[in-house]
Structures are given as C-alpha cells and as structure tokens.
Structure 1
Amino acid sequence: MTVAYLVNTAPVTSSTFIRREMAALEAQGVTVRRFALRRWHLPLVDPLDIADQARTHYILSGNLLGLAFAALRQAGTDPAALFRGAWLAARLARSGGGAVRHAAYLLEATYFLRALRREGIAHTHVHFSSNATAVALIARTMGGPSYSFTAHGPDEFLTAAEDGLAVKLSGAAFAVAISHFCRAQLLRFGGTQYRDRIAVARCGLDLAEFVPSVRPASMSRTLVCVGRLCPQKGQVFLPAAVAALRTTEAPFRLVLIGDGESRPAIEAEIARNGVGDLIELRGWQSSETVRAAIAASRALVLPSFAEGLPIVLLEALALERPVVTTTVAGIPELVDDACGRIVPPGDGAALVGALRDILRADDATLAAMGRTGRARVARHHDLRTLATTLRALFAAAIAREGQVDVRAGRAGVGREAAEMEM
C-alpha cells in the first residue's frame, strides 16, 4: 500500500509528530511518499528533520514552471477534469480566502495529481484541514485518489467556515480527530451528518525513545517550557509567575526551549520583572536535546491559551515528569492532578499556585505523578497503535475506491472505524 502524506510546510521543528507517524507506518509496511507545499524558511536543527527534508517533494517552493506545465498538460489531456477542479476552487473561494489563493490551490492540485499518478499512490493523507487539504480535495475532484485529513486545532477551527471545512469533510474518505474535543469541533463546523467518518486517533509516541531518568524529579530545581514562542502558548505569563515565586521558594530556574514571534514580548517581561537571572531562552533544539532537558527537569510547564493537544505534554509524561498546563481543548483528556497540575488559561494566580505545588512536592509525590503520566501515555498514546489504526483506515478507504463517486465526494467510513480510539 502506497500513500501520500501532504502538509503545508515540512518539516518544521514543531511538527516532529508527523515525522514519527510516517516512520511508524513505514515500520508496518506502508510506503509513504512525502509531499509539502512549501519548505520551512528557518534552519532545521534536528538531524532527522534534515533527513526528512531531503525525502520531501515540494509542490510550490521553487516550482512555478512545473505548476504551469502541469496545468497546461491537464488542460490538454482532460479539460473536463480541470473544469471540475476550477469549479470547486471557485466554490471554496466564495467561502473566503479569495480567488487568487484558490487559483493557486488549483495549480498545486494539478501538479500534485500528476505526481500521485506517476508514483502509483492510492490514498492521500493530510495533516491539518487548511490549505493542503484543499489541494487534496481539488486533486480528488479531478480524478485523483481518495483523501483523508487529521484535524488538530486550534487555528484551523478559527477559520473553519472560510476554509470550507464542511466541503472538505464531505469529500473525505474519513477524518481523524486527535481528541474528543477535536471531534466535537469537526462535528460543529463540518456537520453532524458526517459523524460516521470521524475517527478519534490520538497522537502517539514510541515509548522506547522516552526512557525515564533514574534521577528523581525532586533532585532538580529546573522547570522547562518547550514550544513555539507565540501568543497561543502563553509563555508571556511565565516571567511574572517566576517573580512571584522567587521570594517564597527555594532557588529554582526556568528554561524555555523554542523560538517565535513572542520572543521580544517574553524578553520584555523578563526584564520588567527582574528575573533574567532565573530564566534562560535556549531557542530551538534537536529532539534528543529536548528529551534530555525534560528528563533533567523537575516538571514541564506549558501555560497555553489555545491548543490542540501538545505533543510535548506526552513527551514529559512519558519521561515521568509532571506537567503544569491549562484546561484548554483536548488537554484535560490527558492531564489532571494525578499527573501534574491543570489551571484555567490566563489565570496568573492559579499558575503561581500550581508551580508552587510542584516546587514544594516531595519525591514520593513527584514520582507518583510521573508513573501515572507514563502509564496514561502508554495506554492512550502508543505510536504503534496509532499506526495500526491509520493503516486500517487507509486500507478501508482504498478498498472502497471503486464504490466512490469522485465528483459528489460520497466517501465514508463505517461506524466501527469512526469509533476506533487509542
């Protein structure tokens, strides 16, 4: 079975979960062809990401002549299919986003369609329901293979109507939601009539890569925060929390790993609160370095305002480190006080209290949280189970291919697939 994985930009430092997912499928005998619309504009730091970039076929970046040639060939060989694609692109444009953007999606889809046929690809899977899913849908309408997508949130649900989520879901063989919260958002914005084609399949980890440290968490006075520095992650609240704790708690420090548009605001808050001696910004790091930093920490903190379900929370729990995070989206399906602390987003006092609890917790309490967290990840977020689920869904979609009306997009999955959950 050969499938295509299509994403908007790849690889990026914050999407290692997609790389892991593809590798797990390949370990189960699925041939995965990697496609992306664009290259990431920043340098990659992880050797595995760098290797994956070399295997990725880029549709838009540096390929304007290829896009034009593909459109001309499509017009010459199958103008009716091109017309169907153009009609659908126009329909999506009326929802929002503009004609120019969707004309670009049409060009990208014609190029992608030729690549799919050339490589004998039987199904396309997309991560996130935004522009890359539009490309897969248009390619499907022009006669390409079935497609599916994984929805994560939060941003894709903010623009669900203008991005035509309902149309994308109607044409998909199935959709994957990474949590029950995410499934509810797909039903809300995509339509409850598609409930039978939405499967809950939680993001996964290979636990063999996340070996807990023999050093007890209580021996560390370092808190670590990992993620893109952006408004959604709420890191701008951390300097004030650190300042509130420094006068009452034994010495501790906070390490932020990641980078992004909020870095100047975070640096300004560090200076305003006078905690430059307690907070270190390390920028992007390799996956191996991130694992080592979490393993050496007392706990991971992620005070997010908006999320899907952050992979770094899985990683910390798998390493038997407690987490301090917020009651956002799918996070409460993973985290409770048995494996950390969970507080309302934006509640600075609650965040300070949660961090104080972790800083004062004894070894037995921290160890119990760690064991509970790892057991929870093993039960619900095993990467092999995710790959098995996806492989079955792909195979079912391919098997049904002869029964699907491409133009109407009447692809679906059975109820048993929709109810599959890790």
Structure 2
Amino acid sequence: MEAHFRARPATDMPPAGGTVAYLVNQYPKVSHTFIRREILALERQGVTVLRFSIRGWDAEVADPTDEAERARTRYLLQGGLRALLAPVVRTCLRRPGAAFRALAAAVAMSRHSVRSLPHHLVWFAFACRLSLWLEKSAATHLHAHFGTNSTDIAYLTRLLGGPPYSFTVHGADEIDNVLGWSLPRKVAAARFVVTVSHYIRGQLMRWLPPQDWPKLALVHCGLDEGFFASAPPPPPDRPTLLCIGRLSAEKGHLVLLEAFAALDRPDLRLVLAGDGELRALIEGRIRESGLQDRVRITGWIGSDEVRRLIGAATIIVQPSLMEGLPVVLMESLAQGRPAVSTYIAGIPELIENGRTGWLVPAGDTEGLARTLAEALDTPAARLEEMGRIGIARVREQHLADTEAARLRRLFAGDGA
C-alpha cells in the first residue's frame, strides 16, 4: 500500500481523543438516530468526528438536531456522478498502483454480490473522492456504519492509501448476505468490527476464520441520559398499543393488525409511529378490517414525539420478523414501558420474558393476540414494577456515553 496518508503511519493507533471520520450510507436519517447519539457521545468525550455520507435523507427531517447534523455532513454524491470524474482521474494519476488494486478489489467483490458491477465502480469513485477529502483532514481512523456499501467504500478507501478503518454490523441485511457483501474480506482488512448484539457477533463468527474472531467487539446502540424516565409514567386512561418503526415487511405490522383485530376490545387503540414503503398496503388493510377509528399512522416523528407517545401508551409492541436489536425497544424500556416483541436476533438479550416484557414467536398471530391480551390485563402495579426493571436494564446496557467510551478505547487501540 502506498503510504501517502499524511496524518500518521498506518500502523499507528489514533489517540484517545483525536479525529475520527464517520461514513454512513444515508445521514442524517429518521431511523438512524442511534448513529447521531453515538457521534455526539464521542464528541462529549473529546473525540473530533468528521461526518461523511453517501447521500442525505430525501424527506424533511423531523428532529432539529438532525437538521444541524445535515449541515455538518459532507456528501459523496454532492454534485452528482459527474463530480466524481475528477477525483478518479486525480487518484489514478497520483497513485496508479493503489488505484489499480482498489479497482481490482471492487470488480472482485461484484462477482457474487447483491449489487452489480456498475454499483461497485461507483463505490470505487466514491472511495477516490473520500480518500482525497481525508488526506486533507486530521482523521486518523475511518469508521463506517453498516457492513454494506458504506463499508465497501471504507475498504476501497483503505486500499487507496486512506486511514485504517472499522465498521459496525447491525442486523439481518448484513447477516443474510455475508458473502454477497464480502464481509470476510472486509473484516480481514479492518482494524476491528463492532456488533450491536451477541447474536450478530455469533452469526458473523459462523462465516469468519477463527483468527478473525478477536476483531469482533460488542458495542450496543445507546440512549442519552436525558431519555431515561425517573419512574414509569402512569398508564393512559384508554388502553393504547404503540408500535414504532419503518412501515416495511420485516417489522411485522400486518401480523400486528391481524392480532389487534382478533382481540375484539372496542376501547383499545393502536398507534403506528413511522412511515415507509408499506404504508399504502397497511392503510388498505386497516380499512378492510374496519379499524379506521382505532388505528392511527403518525408518519415520521422526532425524538421528542417518540418519547411522548411511549409515555401515552399502555404497552409497546414490536412484532418484528427480522431484526438486529431494535432501538425502539431500548427507548420503550428506558421510559418505563414494558414491551411485547419476538424471539428473534438480539431481542431476547434485552427483553426478559415476564420481567421487562413478553416474547412471542415471530409471525405467530394467535400467540401475539394472546400475549397482548395478557399484557393488557396485567395489573398496573405489576406493569410499573416491570417498567422500573426495564429502566435499570437499559441504563446498564445501553447508555450512550458508556458505549461511546468503549468505541473510543477501540479507536485508541486499547480494546473495549
């Protein structure tokens, strides 16, 4: 590798504070507030974080903090694809050997990929642009979120002579396509790899050679101290279920609607907080079931509204079919609200059945209906006790400053 990266030799570790570059495929994004919390927590601990993203959020952001983050982020797609031509030419002329190796790697990764060769060629161009930006910065390390296209770019940037990199693996998109996203190759080249749950770490271990297992570090997504309730709020006068998340197939909204209709409780209402590609289908199912007066879809909402809705709910329900470890469950428990969710992925690492919530098999409509009825019939005193346990559990496992400190130590080479 051509040693042109000016900040420090590639073998050196960044200092405990120092400057770290973050790369995300889409930032800021309504459903990625956990990345924003992580960045801000690192900065509270003295780390300077440079924000880079492939593209921004297409719709209006719902949170003022995200608006501020947008202004602090540089976008690889800024100026369109034509703007990438000059960085590619400059990189090839200045560092032809490194450019050839990175281009060959991009072609190799495309052969059995979930994305086509043209995608990988564009990512090579992104890497050329990012490597030039980083060369002019003080960043000594590059961290990517999601082991997908953003980490492909981080890997290619490293081949072009950029800084050492790491990345965070979040969930099923990566685990379902370990080879399609060339994760073994990218893990081998990384300094370390973060997983957000023991489940994700174990799934990666299935595909990696044992010598790379020590690179896998557990760092949970975190919540700021201000998000935690001092005590569980009183239940609302009218029983209310709340489901927060993108309206997509894997979140299980259609299963939830069927279970909700089966409950036959006229006073019960359901709030679906979020938006997404299945909204029209879900709205149609609500009309077909005659639930228009009892089910409401909010659209995208900000952090303050999330907190308000959690406090106004009786039970949080997350009937996911596929997950990593949903941040909404952390938020719900942190507000003292027990949750009903599914026995998948990292969810049982947070939801203790009968203690901080209830777990059901994914896709089991009848089981979900029975469990929701059990949760709704639970005495208020017991729900309050479960809420207090949930607050303590999330503070222990998912406090943003604690988890950011683990990352800072990893960036510094001290281990988590």
TM-score norm. by structure 2 comes to: 0.92
> Within the alignment, does 1:373 sit opposite 2:390 as a pair?
yes
Give the Cα–Cα distance (whole angstroms) in 2 for the partners of residues 258 and 213 of structure 1: 26
Partner of 2:140: 122
For residue 22 of structure 1, the aligned residue among 39, 56, 61 is: 39
* Change in 2 beyond 3 A, CA 1:174/1:150: same
- Equivalences, count: 397
| Structure 1 position 194, deviation (Å) | 0.8
1:212–1:318 contact (8 Å) kept in structure 2: no
Give the Cα–Cα distance (whole angstroms) in 1 for the partners of residues 379 and 413 of structure 2: 50
For residue 360 of structure 1, the aligned residue among 374, 377, 386 is: 377
Aligned residue identity for 1:234: G
TM alignment of 1:207-222, pairs within 5 A: 207-212=225-230, 215-217=233-235, 219-222=237-240
Give the Cα–Cα distance (whole angstroms) in 2 for the partners of residues 309 and 140 of structure 1: 29
Partner of 1:332: 348
For residue 319 of structure 1, the aligned residue among 325, 335, 340 is: 335
| Structure 1 position 250, deviation (Å) | 6.6
1:157–1:189 contact (8 Å) kept in structure 2: no
Query: What are the superposed Cα offsets for residues 221-270 of structure 1, whole Å, 9 maximum, x if unpaired?
Result: 11111000000100112222222112xx4712111110011112211221
1:217–1:321 contact (8 Å) kept in structure 2: no
> Within the alignment, does 1:198 sit opposite 2:181 as a pair?
no
Partner of 2:366: 349
> Within the alignment, does 1:308 sit opposite 2:324 as a pair?
yes
* Change in 2 beyond 3 A, CA 1:62/1:210: farther
Query: What are the superposed Cα offsets for residues 24-69 of structure 1, whole Å, 9 maximum, x if unpaired?
Result: 0000000000000112222211111111111110002434343111
Counterpart secondary structure, 2:344: coil
Larger helix share, 1 or 2: 1
> Within the alignment, does 1:252 sit opposite 2:268 as a pair?
yes
Give ranges in structure 1 of 5+ residues lacking alignment: 398-416
| Structure 1 position 191, deviation (Å) | 3.4
Give the Cα–Cα distance (whole angstroms) in 2 for the partners of residues 276 and 60 of structure 1: 41
Give the Cα–Cα distance (whole angstroms) in 1 for the partners of residues 365 and 78 of structure 2: 42
> Within the alignment, does 1:113 sit opposite 2:125 as a pair?
no
> Within the alignment, does 1:174 sit opposite 2:204 as a pair?
no
1:243–1:274 contact (8 Å) kept in structure 2: no
Partner of 2:249: 231
TM alignment of 1:17-96, pairs within 5 A: 17-96=34-113
1:179–1:309 contact (8 Å) kept in structure 2: yes
* Change in 2 beyond 3 A, CA 1:214/1:393: closer
| Structure 1 position 211, deviation (Å) | 2.3
State, as a whole percentage, how many aligned pairs show the same letter: 42
Aligned residue identity for 1:191: P
Counterpart secondary structure, 1:6: strand
Counterpart secondary structure, 1:255: strand
Give the Cα–Cα distance (whole angstroms) in 2 for the partners of residues 266 and 99 of structure 1: 35
Query: What are the superposed Cα offsets for residues 296-332 of structure 1, whole Å, 9 maximum, x if unpaired?
Result: 1111111000001000100000000010110110001
1:242–1:275 contact (8 Å) kept in structure 2: no
Partner of 1:158: 176
Aligned residue identity for 1:359: L
185-194 vs 26-35, which deviates more? 185-194
2:316–2:332 contact (8 Å) kept in structure 1: yes
Give the Cα–Cα distance (whole angstroms) in 1 for the partners of residues 180 and 287 of structure 2: 40
| Structure 1 position 95, deviation (Å) | 2.9
Give the Cα–Cα distance (whole angstroms) in 2 for the partners of residues 141 and 214 of structure 1: 51
Aligned residue identity for 2:245: G
> Within the alignment, does 1:284 sit opposite 2:311 as a pair?
no
| Structure 1 position 91, deviation (Å) | 1.7
Q: CA RMSD in A?
A: 1.5
